[in-house]
Structure 1
Amino acid sequence: MKRFGLVANRLHRQDADGALAGWARACDAGIRALGLGLHAVGGTYDALERLKLLSDYPPLARLPSGVEGGVMRLASRITGGLAPGDELDGVIYLVDPVDPSSLYPETQALKRQCVIHGKPFISTAAGAAEWIGVELVHAKKGGAELAGAIEGRTVALIAHDALKRRMVDFASAHFDLLSRFATRVGTGTTGGLLNDLAWSRGWPAGKPWVNRYLSGPMGGDAQIAELVLDRRCDKVIFFEDPHVARQHEADIQLLERAVSAATHDTTCFNSPVTAERWAAAVTA
């Protein structure tokens, strides 16, 4: 049985029309079909109980609230935890970009550990719904609608220096899948490498496979963030290197926070392992 941490910032959990409630209603059947273990931090668990969502579902467990260390415990359990049975397979964290807790050290550490260990850190309502579909496909219990969520869409392909070759390898392995998107965008160097790949694969010479923006340090992340805010970019595949201090960290956070602001429209994957699992589900 898969086990996920579950957190929602106050904006997303405070009423019956919030992102948490919408996700729980839309994915109730899928969550139950998977028997997905959900380890919800206090306020998130309490909101589900108050709204009578996921009622009578034993795999939903309550952790302490954030101020009592709930998010810190999730970070530990992403790494394996302290005892057999503690380990989590990923985290759904519905982020409000203007909630200061989204920048607390424990939240940043939780995301970083997910990236390091190749586990999904899902930060939007759209991503949380999509990921239930991914898990249903891998469990052979549904999720077929994933394949129809590509045509007419735009995907951003971004990678830090140490992972640019990994991005090229990912694009090569899933070239036909990524070519089904209406548009691909990327930051400068990564976009250039991906265009070279596409031309070597027979993509029309001189026609960009990826529309290139500036390099990340020169503002490319900010440019793609604006596309996300304008609802002109639906998916971000961002291979982050969690081991290197980056001078343009603020730009990276800007892009991630733009994705969170477009919570109902945009999804984001932060690691090659997570992106590979998504691609395998879509092409299953």
Structure 2
Amino acid sequence: MRMGLAANALHHDQDDAALFRWLRASERGVRELNISLHAVGRTYAAIARVGLLADYPGLVRYPYGHEGGLMKLVAEVVGMPESGRTLDGAIYLINPVDPSSTFPEAVALKRQCVIHQKPFISTVASARDWVEVERIHAGLAPDAGADDLFALESQTLALIAHDAMKPQMMAYASDHFDVLSRFARRVATGTTGQQLNELAWSRGWPQDRNWVERFQSGPMGGDAQIADLVLERRCQRAVFFEDPHVARQHEADIQLLERAVTTVTDETVCMTSPRVATRWASAVKQRATYNA
């Protein structure tokens, strides 16, 4: 498994920065799974400076960002078959107020991950979660250090899908209804929320109870309302099926929600494609069976 790795300066300029909090929590899993981390220059240098992943052959240095390192990650997410250089996803720990997070290569990295349904991991919580999901799929025993991520009964889940992705969201909710029903609370933007409630009622959910709490539609500010929940640490996981091909009039609202998630990097997991979200739901079921 090969993953691109980058972190904005805020997330690696101190010894307790986000990049190192993630690695200290997940280094054992990275080594167990033999994950190759293809790290752009400053990120690679920071890991070496603090002594994490010492002597680990899977840590690979890429050029600095100004030398094209992040651009190379984008190309390899798409895939470079003639040279065998293909990444399985990207971990990019974002500081939402760092201008580099809006550079074309940063935006393209996420977009290509979404298009190719590969993990785009932008928070510490998401990175911890992803490693544990891959550990479970590899048949390893659950890591007790990740139990907080899987305590669904105490968490709030946001379910968001743009118009072209609503059918995929309904299929996903139908396929994994039991897992999603474990959350203490579910929220969604307007139309998606109505469709999800109708699905739940058809599955036997009590007709006098909403399965999800509906906020405004996206264009009317629903993304901003959910962003506020995230910032208040009242939403721990977002399943966000985004259509990367269509320009949206409320793009700023979408970016607001994404920035809120990265602002509380240790608190919120965000999954951006049906394939990634399905793999997570499968791991939840396997992990529950193991613990039972």
| TM-score, length basis structure 2 | 0.95
The whole-number CA distance in structure 2 between the counterparts of 1:82 and 1:70 is 18
User: 2:36 — aligned with what?
Assistant: 37
Shift of residue 58, structure 1, vs aligned partner: 0.4
SS in 2 for 1:241: coil
The whole-number CA distance in structure 1 between the counterparts of 2:93 and 2:221 is 26
SS in 1 for 2:230: helix
Asked if residue 102 in structure 1 is aligned to residue 101 in structure 2, the reply is: yes
SS in 1 for 2:270: strand
The whole-number CA distance in structure 2 between the counterparts of 1:42 and 1:151 is 40
User: 1:75 — aligned with what?
Assistant: 74
SS in 2 for 1:6: strand
User: 1:116 — aligned with what?
Assistant: 115
User: 1:192 — aligned with what?
Assistant: 194
Shift of residue 150, structure 1, vs aligned partner: 1.1
SS in 1 for 2:153: coil
User: 2:289 — aligned with what?
Assistant: none
Shift of residue 26, structure 1, vs aligned partner: 1.2
User: 2:290 — aligned with what?
Assistant: none
SS in 2 for 1:203: coil
The whole-number CA distance in structure 1 between the counterparts of 2:213 and 2:132 is 29
User: 2:205 — aligned with what?
Assistant: 203
The whole-number CA distance in structure 1 between the counterparts of 2:244 and 2:142 is 31
User: 2:266 — aligned with what?
Assistant: 264
SS in 1 for 2:205: coil
User: 1:175 — aligned with what?
Assistant: 177
User: 2:252 — aligned with what?
Assistant: 250
Shift of residue 84, structure 1, vs aligned partner: 3.7
SS in 1 for 2:152: coil
In structure 2, give the amino acid aligned to 1:28: E
Output aligned runs, 1:1-284, within 5 Å: 2-81=1-80, 83-143=82-142, 145=146, 148-284=150-286
Shift of residue 151, structure 1, vs aligned partner: 1.5
Shift of residue 138, structure 1, vs aligned partner: 1.1
The whole-number CA distance in structure 1 between the counterparts of 2:51 and 2:194 is 50
SS in 2 for 1:151: helix
SS in 1 for 2:154: coil
Gaps of 5+ in 1: none
CA contact (8 A) 1:133 1:142 kept: no
| TM-score, length basis structure 1 | 0.97
Per-residue CA deviations over 1:89-113 (Å, capped at 9, x if unaligned) read 0111100010011111110001000
Number of residues paired by the alignment? 283
**Deviation larger for 220-229 or 76-85:** 76-85
Identity across matched positions, percent:
60
Per-residue CA deviations over 1:82-141 (Å, capped at 9, x if unaligned) read 534310001111000100111111100010000000000000001101100011111112
Per-residue CA deviations over 1:12-54 (Å, capped at 9, x if unaligned) read 1011111101111111111000000000010000000001111
The whole-number CA distance in structure 2 between the counterparts of 1:70 and 1:231 is 33
CA contact (8 A) 1:158 1:186 kept: yes
The whole-number CA distance in structure 2 between the counterparts of 1:82 and 1:42 is 24
SS in 1 for 2:97: coil
The whole-number CA distance in structure 2 between the counterparts of 1:88 and 1:234 is 27
The whole-number CA distance in structure 2 between the counterparts of 1:76 and 1:143 is 34
**Deviation larger for 134-143 or 236-245:** 134-143
The whole-number CA distance in structure 2 between the counterparts of 1:209 and 1:226 is 21
The whole-number CA distance in structure 1 between the counterparts of 2:184 and 2:207 is 18
